[in-house]
Structure 1
Amino acid sequence: MPILVEVSKGLLTQEGEREVFPKIAAALLEAHGLTGNSFMTPNVIGHVSVKPESECFVGGKSQSLAVVEVTVPAITFPNGQVAQKFIGEVTDIIDTYKAKPHPRERTYVVVKHAVDGPWGIGGKAYSNADLGAAIQKAAMA
């Protein structure tokens, strides 16, 4: 599932720029009980983009900003507790790797639910049901 991490330049340490994505991906898998799932693990994809602070705005002013956007099937994050835990963990990950003062209020985590399919993976179109079946098959293997 795609994860897009956008941060203002200088917000994260160099280590943080390398480490936030794998940590966020692990948190996403853990939130859904899919850690180690042979189908899902390689399909948690994305990138980290570092933008000049002059291109990052909060309240109409240029300042440090972290935005983490995750796109998942509509069947995920079935209750508020799972979403709250994931959002809290992602915010903690950003805090762990920050290189300068940055208030938690300027870290945004957006979980987008995609409408049903198709999810294109390796040239194959998957509906949400197809994804569920592939995940279950991998869990049984």
Structure 2
Amino acid sequence: MPPTRIDDNGTYAQMWTTAMPMLDVYAPKGVFSDKHALAKELAETIVRWEKVPVIPFFTDNTAAFIHELEPESFSTAGGGSNSVRVHVTTNAGALNREQQLGLVKDIFALIAEAAADPSLTERTWVTLTEAVPGGWGIGGHAYTNEEIVRTARKLLGKE
């Protein structure tokens, strides 16, 4: 299903994405010296690429988590344990192809910069996953895309 928004007439229109994405970064322990700064930059990056309004409803519910792993706790098929995995979850249809490409490119750059290791891009994987409609639970409620749009419009004084 394509992303939807409620236009000024109160009808649904395809265009504005609605999401509170989550990013999970899995990396060997010690790769990143400032994990909080990286998490904040990653969260801000996806907000920018999704082009949602910069309001607390979105910014307070978009997060990145840095998970440090002991090198002996994971391996590639070739035996390496110096890779980074970034798993991005958005709502269904949140990113068009241009947004996917831009987001992934920016994530690679942020990971390499935060690790101070440009070669890390060769050992980093980014996966993009979509939650099912109704799959965003916030404040005890499982939001659909339309409910997220309605809530945001109310908060912006447009409904």
Q: Which residue number in structure 2 is paired with residue 133 of structure 1? A: 150
Q: Which residue number in structure 2 is paired with residue 33 of structure 1? A: 51
Residues paired across the two proteins, number: 138
Instruction: Map residues 56-135 of structure 1 onto 2, 5 A cutoff.
Output: 56-78=74-96, 80-99=97-116, 102-135=119-152
Counterpart-to-counterpart distance in 1, 2:108 and 2:153: 29
- For residue 58 of structure 1, give the secondary structure of its aligned residue in structure 2: coil
Deviation of residue 140 (structure 1)? 4.5
1:66-103 Cα deviation digits (max 9, x unpaired): 1111111112002x111110001011001111155643
Computed over aligned residues only, the root mean square deviation of the Cα atoms, in angstroms, reads: 2.0
- For residue 57 of structure 1, give the secondary structure of its aligned residue in structure 2: coil
TM-score under structure 1 length normalisation:
0.85
Counterpart-to-counterpart distance in 1, 2:64 and 2:94: 18
Aligned partner letter, 2:141: K
Counterpart-to-counterpart distance in 1, 2:155 and 2:77: 45
Deviation of residue 105 (structure 1)? 2.1
Deviation of residue 35 (structure 1)? 5.5
Q: Which residue number in structure 2 is paired with residue 51 of structure 1? A: 69
Which range is displaced more, 84-93 or 49-58?
Answer: 49-58
Instruction: Map residues 3-42 of structure 1 onto 2, 5 A cutoff.
Output: 3-12=23-32, 14-15=33-34, 17-34=35-52, 36-42=54-60
Counterpart-to-counterpart distance in 1, 2:150 and 2:78: 45
**Percent identity at matched positions?**
22
- For residue 109 of structure 1, give the secondary structure of its aligned residue in structure 2: strand
Instruction: Name the CA shift for 1:99/1:62 in 2 (closer, same or farther; >3 Å).
Output: same
Instruction: Name the CA shift for 1:91/1:100 in 2 (closer, same or farther; >3 Å).
Output: closer
TM-score under structure 2 length normalisation:
0.77
The question of whether the paired residues in 2 share the 8 Å contact of 1:54 and 1:62 is answered with no
